[in-house]
Amino acid sequence: MGLRFTVLASGSTGNATVVRTDDATLLVDAGLSAKKLEELMRERGVSGQEIDGIFVTHEHSDHVKGLGAFARKYNLPVYANDATWAALERHVGQIADDRRRIVATGETVEFGGLRVESYPISHDAAEPVGYCFMDGDVKLSLVTDLGYMSDKVRRMAIDSDVLVLESNHDVNMLRMGRYPWNIKRRILSDIGHLSNEAAGEALCELLTDRTKRVYLAHLSLDHNMQELARMTVQSILEDRGIFFKSDEAVLQHTYHDRATPWDEVRRKAIV
């Protein structure tokens, strides 16, 4: 088995992803109720007993809603940086001291051959991070909840086999939407969320010959649509001379209410 993953849910109503290799099965964020997490995992053939740890990107409720209950039920270690742990206190309840894993931003955690490296992102949280998962010569990068793509994010996420990339909103839909202006301003800011246009611009710099698939993630229910996100991103890529072969489904969807199918990225054959 190579590196496998399923995005259990993605969006403002909750975020969670399972990453699995021969050496470990990890949960990234737990932004749904413990019951819903179990339901979505069960649909993908995963039980809570199989999870080896939970990695937290930041403390917002759509990423940690079920964290405390799920971690306590299955006695799981939880990995986060010191600032995120401090911000989590009021959200997740008591996590036993021996289950707390403090991981400095930029540090790598290893599970056999699986390496998990965090990197800083720009978002209105205590110390938010993204994660890269590397198994042999395979690389999966989770790049969501960032107001802009910094040089550090670019260096970490480039040359990934698979990217899970934020494409949160259509700018015009957001500007015309029902949110109060202070919320709109936050989303549009450098500590907010990537728009469809920004996702397309980011991909122009992240895509390499190695990239097989890109999952457009964290779409707003109010200010975006799946096909609009895909078409906007694809149009920007094509304007830059980046075209996909018709038989290659490079741009993939994620969902707020159901899991993506398992996606497996295998190691390259050794000749």
- 162-201 confidence digits (pLDDT tens): 999 999 999 999 999 999 999 999 999 999 999 999 999 9
What's the rounded mean pLDDT across residues 15-24?
A: 97
- With beta carbons less than 8 A apart as the criterion, state whether 113 and 21 touch: yes
Considering Cα of 39, then 41, then 44, then 48, what sign does the dihedral take?
negative
Q: Are strands 100-102 and 129-135 parallel, antiparallel or unpaired?
A: unpaired
- 233-262 confidence digits (pLDDT tens): 999 999 999 877 544 569 999 999 999 999
Could you tell me the pLDDT band of residue 267, with boundaries at 50, 70 and 90? low
What's the rounded mean pLDDT across residues 89-101?
A: 91
User: Which domains, and CATH codes, for the chain?
Assistant: 1-104 (3.60.15.10), 137-255 (no CATH)
Residues contacting 117, CB < 8 A, separation 6+:
106, 107, 108, 109, 131, 132, 134, 156
What's the rounded mean pLDDT across residues 90-116?
A: 95
Cβ count within 10 A of residue 143: 27
